Amino acid sequence: MFPYTLITLKERPALKEEAARWFHDKWGIPFEVYLASMEASLAGDKIQAWYLCLDGEKIIAGMGEIKNDFHDRKDLTPNICAVYTDEAYRCQGVAGALLNYVVQDNKKRGIAPLYLITDHTGFYERYGWAFFCMVQGDGQPQMTRMYIHR
């Protein structure tokens, strides 16, 4: 049995600032950018959504859903972004459980396919994602792998 709790931020809106700070600490994107996206999600934005995995009350993993994850293929939307699992919780199925939760939540909302960009190979395929194409990240010299989940 999976020992952690998977939630959408909409289920626990009081975590908004803590979650924005957690993502900021992991990725270095300004706190205000995450907070604005989370507020849009909570206000009913159909695309933006945020997902968390909790160990008790502690955020141990998370990911977001936004229109575009800073790449040139604006037609490939929505994008799963900011995928992160705290190091102490890796290799326990946390990221996979959260990815599956996000896919199922989107299917319930009538949203498919989903896209994500990553430099990882082999990881996302385990959870039903497939390589789709290469994209140019904003301000990045190298192309990045784009995956799709249908």
Whether 71 is covered by a domain: the verdict is yes
Give the total number of structural domains in the chain: 1
3-state DSSP of 107-139:
HHCCCCCEEEEECCCCCHHHHCCEEEEEEEECC
C-alpha–C-alpha distance, residues 117 and 144, integer Å: 7
10: left (phi over 0), alpha (psi -120 to 50) or beta: alpha
Give the pTM. Answer: 0.94
CA dihedral (53, 7, 37, 129) in degrees, to 10, reads 70
Tens-digit pLDDT profile for residues 24-54:
999 999 999 999 999 999 999 999 999 999 9
Tens-digit pLDDT profile for residues 75-110:
999 999 999 999 999 999 999 999 999 999 999 999
CATH number reported for the structural domain that contains residue 88 in this entry:
3.40.630.30
Give the type of residue at 122. Answer: G
Whether 33 is covered by a domain: the verdict is yes
